Structure 1
């Protein structure tokens, strides 16, 4: 049962090095609710008492069941409703996970503790265990450190704490830092008499303290220096994360390709007479050609051979797209899509080059620029015409010209 303001946690659970800190924290949270009037145990209810994700909470829940610390029985009432009851074990037992028991006479969600004489236990602040801003791992560390600090002669060190945990050193270091940032543990650093040598002392807080630093440096001359308070640190961290998320969202929004709209795709299929193309070239090739044409006409930015194509060139090529031009392109091209990494990108490049070259070939002389320099044969031909005209005019002047 939970005492007023404190919850009795079995030390055997806290010292079990095969149990993760998340599972130890969850065990302590469940124990804090045992005996509470009208409390019904469920993962949703436990989610209101911690800051962890549903994934981590569910993993810790399964771990307690697999290690035999949480037994789950169910029965069915006369109206067909299921009734779930739980046993929280002081000692690990054989796993009992969702086992039918017809003799259950407890209300749905009821949880009781199965224990022997409670001589080996530690009283933990119930307010900390039910604090929804603290993670399960930090609650597990809080309970474990509270137990170990009561052992006479025990020197608190992170490596000593880790010997009672299943987490590896890198993961444990992360959880230990989060534990200090939660405001539950204060660290004091003292000089050890040698250069770059320090000794550490720790104090645990019954309530989270975010107003004072988690690390205090004591110098040889008796002065004290601290880093920023935890509240200031968390506020700066929150602003930094918010700025990073904002930049990521703006980048994703900027670089996100334009979605293929079904209406525009159907219009392209009608324009190309896709049914006839499917009969000749098959579904896969026709679908890829439709995608390539869609990109040429509607993509926000079009790149051909690594160079961005201007809107004027795209419009010129888009006007030449027709069932006949696409059929000529497919007839003149040998394709093996199985050997092409990105068939749509390959086809849009090949089709764009084919149509642009065809446009250059079909362009009439009248459409060409008047300032284009003349070729050598054109200049020679014009010179011959000018010389013949000059001789004819001279012959007319002498009266020798005959038509």
Structure 2
């Protein structure tokens, strides 16, 4: 017997197919606190007795009220404060949700059980019901399985347990696995004598057992194999989660700082982003604007592994215009499906392209102050061949 004793849970609630496992678990948790000195029922207090989020707890709370298992009355004290009292019902009744009752003489947060002879009930370990590391669904399953295992000739199977639950197959399978991982249920699998056929036996634990395996396989040759212990399973999950968080933090550090909306609008006006969107599309134009913002405003800029000074960045930024952007985008083909980081690719390409514009073109003839010399015969013949080749290509 656990140190906290046992709590009597009505079997009618556990067998109610219209009630979710979370609501059954919440009913059992509330019942474990009934009669406790100085206990005031509230959702905040119940949150300390389970591992569920506030959303799931609130949903189970509303479900108990809608199904008539939890009645909520209130009155007003002499000092003007509201006094809330609750009735926990053995049988479902008409919903009573926040109904004014001037005749209430019970203290605020008081909860009372309304039951008959209480002949149909199951005793559940109170320490499990108040364990803050166990979810409401697991507590509901623990109470339901405890009741079903006491039925003579009842063969415990997940399919048979689901017959007393409102959850669908997929959701129930998830909750059943979490129930085993919680350390409250041990599963033993034996060969039935036929190939690929097994029989199962289950054992409930009144306290979570995280040190021993939750599944033990017994083979025909007499050997025994086990699934990794729950502690090992949870440690593996924690390692994976910590690795994911670490990678997320590293990726966030590599990202350039966000540019203020005012500065981004300035860049859009500089390159006439509206005209570029009509010509090249919103996705490509938005990526180009971000790349130009990084060139001009990022804390640090690296082009092909080399850091770029602020002076050179300002020179490049001044050269960027609508005309230069149109010439650049018409000269390249960008496939977003093959580029891992389009922004980084574009800011490197844009910087390199406009850097070349700053340098004097090597193709321009250098003026020597002397008149041009006439072309030689072979040069004239070569030019005629080039013109003829271009003409044939254009007419094809």
1:154-208 Cα offsets, whole Å, 9 max, x none, are: 0000000001001111111111011111111111100011111111111111111
Q: Distance in 2 between matches of 1:309 and 1:233?
A: 42
Q: State the match for 1:184 in structure 2.
A: 184
Following superposition, the deviation at residue 238 of structure 1 comes to 1.6
Q: Is the 8 A contact 2:301 2:308 kept in 1?
A: no
Match of 1:101 in 2: 101
CA offsets 1:260-315 (integer angstroms, 9 cap, x no match): 358x949x97xx9x9xx9xxx9xxxxxx9998975441136889xxx989876995
- Residues 18-54 of structure 1 deviation map (CA, whole Å, 9 limit, x = unaligned): 1110000000000000000000001111111111111
Query: How far apart are residue 253 of structure 1 and its match?
Result: 3.4
CA RMSD of aligned residues (A): 4.0
Q: Which residue of 2 aligns with 1:340?
A: none
TM-score with structure 1 length normalisation? 0.72
Change over 3 Å in CA distance of 1:185–1:259 after alignment to 2? same
CA distance in 2, matches of 1:7, 1:44: 21
Q: Is the 8 A contact 2:256 2:294 kept in 1?
A: no
Shift of 1:316: 4.9
C-alpha spacing 1:99/1:107, structure 2 compared with 1 (3 Å): same
Bigger shift: residues 6-15 or 373-382: 373-382
SS in 2 for 1:97: coil
Q: Distance in 2 between matches of 1:317 and 1:216?
A: 66
1:66, 1:23 → 2: CA distance?
Answer: 11
CA contact (8 A) 1:297 1:315 kept: no
- Partner of residue 206, structure 1: 206
Cα gap change, 1:296/1:238 in structure 2, threshold over 3 Å: closer, same or farther?
closer
1:93-140 Cα shifts (integer Å, max 9, x gaps): 111111111111100100000111101100001011011111110000
Residue in 2 aligned with 1:228?
Answer: 228
Q: How do residues 2-401 of structure 1 correspond to structure 2 at under 5 angstroms?
A: 5-254=5-254, 256-261=255-260, 265=263, 294-299=293-298, 316=312, 318-319=314-315, 356=354, 360=357, 368=360, 372=362, 375=365, 381=371
- Inter-partner Cα distance in structure 1 for 2:7 and 2:61: 20
C-alpha separation in 1, matches of 2:218 and 2:75: 61
SS of the equivalent of 1:45 reads helix
| Counterparts of 1:58 and 1:24, CA distance in 2 | 13
Question: Shift of residue 56 of structure 1?
Answer: 0.9
**Structure 2, unpaired ranges of 5+:** 275-285, 327-342, 375-396
CA contact (8 A) 1:183 1:214 kept: yes
Q: For the residues of structure 1 that align with 2:370 and 2:235, how far apart are their CA atoms?
A: 83
Is the contact between residue 84 and residue 110 of structure 2 (CA under 8 Å) also seen in structure 1? yes
Report the count of equivalent residues. 334
Aligned counterparts of 1:320 and 1:148: Cα–Cα separation in 2 = 76
What secondary structure sits across from 2:94 in the alignment? coil
The whole-number CA distance in structure 2 between the counterparts of 1:301 and 1:196 is 63
- Whether contact under 8 Å (1:9, 1:123) holds in the other structure is yes
CA distances 1:330-355 after superposition (whole Å, capped 9, x unpaired): 9x99xxxxxxxxxxx9xx99xx79x9
1:397 is aligned to none
Q: Is the 8 A contact 1:301 1:308 kept in 2?
A: no
Displacement of 1:319 after TM fit?
3.4
Does the C-alpha gap of structure 1 residues 96 and 232 become closer, same or farther in structure 2, counting only changes over 3 Å?
same
Contact 2:296–2:317 (8 Å) recurs in 1: no
- Separation (CA, whole Å) in 1 of partners of 2:260 and 2:18: 54
